[in-house]
Structure 1
């Protein structure tokens, strides 16, 4: 293990502390790599504008690739407009082609910040792509904001919640029992908690959810 890699020790997914990152870099941390990949890519997806700007000023190539994409692509995908602007200000190319022939700039046209970069003449979405982007925005807005790590979800067309409950041969849970489970789902036996799911009627069908497990995606439940 090198001295440089030691300086990055303890770094995980949180790349928001500008003072900490600056200290590590000043102490010899390599701005080009750490054990989890390229620092600039991780900061673009999970960090702050301050950290992205700091790293962008220290790397040899702000458009270096990791897994075939640039840090700017990561920032656009992660919906980090401030970080994307910091990368563009540092010289990253918004119109460099990447996955599927898309560039970070063109991808941004399909997201919530279409005005993120000045758009060159002749660059635009097709009618089909624009319609898909609008539908994606409608669906994500309907889904809302929630902590989704580990959440099970199945969206089933043409049946409502009552019919889903009937097909699953399920029975309602007491409110108190559900409240206790939601407060501490991992305090319960997994075999027991996986048997409890939520079903909600929505336009066109129903949504089957479980915030702590994968039961909605189990083949038997889907069938």
Structure 2
């Protein structure tokens, strides 16, 4: 049995090499199909604006759907404004309704790049949605940039760090033990490393963190933390 080849052999996460993508397309790679999906959607997420524009110029329909959304929606959700602009320049419709009755354009108004597209008259966010979007931007600025791959996180309303520790039957870890552990947390057995979490009081509640594991969002931990309140 011979497998069907689409010209995208060896393509993985990186869709930023414009020359390679163009060479593949000129050599017969299918602009409509990649590993069961659509190359344009893949490039919207993991490509460069040049690659997005190249593919957008070769597909039959720039607003073709995959998984119920267009490539433009994917670019907006992924926080790739330059890719979104390249798609809009190629004819993608920012105001085409998609998931939950939202369009890519309206979604952009609620995100970090509200000026991404020209907004038609009568289109916009409700007062409540605008307030939520503004608060989200404030919180994102407050968090800043940090390495979060593998981060376990629970945000708990209405209790402080001391109460969170009480609910988890926790106890402070001696500084020297914690310093040694933090030198290389992955050198420890998982059952042991999951027992260490950080707890910080913040306005309105507390935050439980574990940069190397998933303990804060384990069901048993969440159940204890959220008793009588809310936890995410």
TM-score by length of 1: 0.89
Alpha-carbon distance between aligned partners in 2 of 1:92 and 1:70, rounded to the nearest angstrom: 9
In structure 1, the partner of 2:156 is 156
Matches within 5 A, 1:47-126: 47-126=47-126
Q: CA deviation at 1:2?
A: 2.5
Most deviating of 198-207 and 34-43: 34-43
Cα shift readout 1:103-161 (whole Å, capped 9, x = no counterpart): 11111111121111111111111111111211222233333322333321111122222
Cα shift readout 1:177-213 (whole Å, capped 9, x = no counterpart): 5455445443321111111111111111110011222
Cα shift readout 1:32-78 (whole Å, capped 9, x = no counterpart): 11115211111112221121111111111110000111101111111
Helix, strand or coil at the partner of 2:156: strand
Alignment of 1:2 with 2:7, yes or no, is: no
Alpha-carbon distance between aligned partners in 2 of 1:29 and 1:183, rounded to the nearest angstrom: 47
Q: CA deviation at 1:84?
A: 0.6
Helix, strand or coil at the partner of 1:154: strand
Cα gap change, 1:133 to 1:195, in 2 (>3 Å): same
In structure 1, the partner of 2:217 is 217
Alignment of 1:192 with 2:175, yes or no, is: no
In structure 2, the partner of 1:147 is 147
Helix, strand or coil at the partner of 1:30: coil
Alpha-carbon distance between aligned partners in 2 of 1:166 and 1:153, rounded to the nearest angstrom: 18
Helix, strand or coil at the partner of 1:209: strand
Helix, strand or coil at the partner of 1:171: coil
Aligned residues: 221
Alpha-carbon distance between aligned partners in 1 of 2:167 and 2:146, rounded to the nearest angstrom: 28
Q: CA deviation at 1:10?
A: 2.7
Alignment of 1:172 with 2:155, yes or no, is: no
Two-structure CA RMSD over aligned residues (Å): 2.0
Alpha-carbon distance between aligned partners in 1 of 2:193 and 2:171, rounded to the nearest angstrom: 14
In structure 2, the partner of 1:134 is 134
Most deviating of 127-136 and 7-16: 7-16
Cα gap change, 1:62 to 1:176, in 2 (>3 Å): farther
Alpha-carbon distance between aligned partners in 1 of 2:215 and 2:203, rounded to the nearest angstrom: 22
In structure 2, the partner of 1:33 is 33
